[in-house]
Amino acid sequence: MGLSNNKGQAAAEMAILGILVLLAFSFVINFGQSLGTVQQTKMKSFRKAMKKAYEKNGTVAYTLRKNSNLANINASFFQGQDSTVEGSYSVTWAKGQSGPDGTSDEGAYSYWQINNTRPVELPTKAQYQYGPTGQESDEKIKTPYSVYRVDETRTGTYDYRLKKEESNSGIDYDKRARLIDTSVSTLGVRINTNVDTNPGDDDTPTPDYTRRTLLPVIDVPVDTQIYSYDEDWSVPHDLQE
């Protein structure tokens, strides 16, 4: 009787250990995927900011938002788990006076992009700029807005089908899985109207966004990603032939 109880206890412990191992393995996979996605997004946003800064001959702030589906053992076959990361970089690349040739009122730009959609260039507002000593610029300079709110609606349509047909020769399998990940985003943007007229001192004025409700709201192009799995195979009845 004691031996039987020991066997039952050992089986229960092995079952629990197996579950813990699977959970630990799942955590490692998810962490590795998330870390890889974050690093890739940061590198892409930096390269995109560098490219735009070169093209614009000025300072570019670039934000890239990456929506993806990571592998997840708890989800259905090929369905995955929603994941979102962002990478933002600001790069200055200018030869001589910043901005396009023949202009003197611009030189800073801001972009926002989701996945592979067309990047959105944020609007600008003409404001006076001030040097470290408080010297005012000769004319108003176009200053880009910043994003303070992202309203996103993300939907996923998942379809899975497994067809099995048996004949005299064997069994035919037809397996299909499809996930359509769609994102619709709207950006709320704003700009600080309380400009620091003496940036060289330690007194930084409190930002003033009182005109927030009057600032534009920007629609981002709809992003659609499709993940699909299609496989057909046959298993003969007599595996020896």
Q: Is residue 100 part of a domain?
A: yes
Count of domains observed in the chain? 1
For residue 173, the tally of other CB atoms under 10 A from its CB is 14
Q: Which of 133-137, 143-147, 188-192 has the lowest mean pLDDT?
A: 133-137
Q: How confident is residue 36, by pLDDT bands cut at 50, 70 and 90?
A: confident
Q: How many whole angstroms separate alpha carbon 138 and alpha carbon 134?
A: 12
Which range, 16-20, 140-144, 215-219, is most confident? 140-144
Residue 183 has pLDDT above 60, yes or no: yes
Closest listed residue to residue 154, CA positions, set 33, 68, 34: 68
> Is pLDDT of 136 > 80?
yes
Within-domain flag for 202: yes
Q: Which of 6-15, 39-48, 84-93, 109-118 has the lowest mean pLDDT?
A: 6-15
Between 26 and 188, the more confident residue is 188
Strand partners, 214: none
Residue scoring higher pLDDT (36 or 31) = 36
pLDDT at site 157: 94
Strand partners, 176: 161, 230
In a domain, 241, yes or no: no
Contacts of 115 (CB under 8 A, 6+ apart): 65, 66, 67, 183, 223, 225
- Band of the pLDDT at 85, cuts 50, 70, 90? very high
Let me know: does 178 contact 158? Beta carbons within 8 Å: yes
Q: Integer distance in angstroms from the first to the last C-alpha of the chain?
A: 49
Q: What is the pLDDT of residues 4-16, one digit of tens each?
A: 556 666 677 677 7
Q: Quick check: 114 and 184 in contact, CB under 8 A?
A: no
Query: Which two tokens mark 155?
Result: 């939907």
Residue 96 domain-assigned (yes or no) = yes
Q: What is the mean pLDDT of the chain?
A: 85
Report yes or no on 32 lying in a domain.
yes
Which has the minimum average pLDDT: 35-39, 47-51, 142-146, 150-154?
35-39
Q: Are 118 and 221 in contact (CB under 8 A)?
A: yes
Range 64-87 average pLDDT: 87
- 31 vs 239, higher pLDDT: 31
For 45-97, strand residue ranges (E) read 59-70, 81-92
Interatomic CA distance for residues 64 and 53, integer angstroms: 15
Residue 158: per-residue pLDDT? 94
Residues 6 or more apart whose Cβ sits within 8 Å of residue 93: 50, 53, 54, 57, 58, 60
| pLDDT per residue as tens digits for the range 194-215 | 888 888 888 888 888 755 555 6
Domain that holds residue 98: 2-236
- Residue 26: the pLDDT is 67
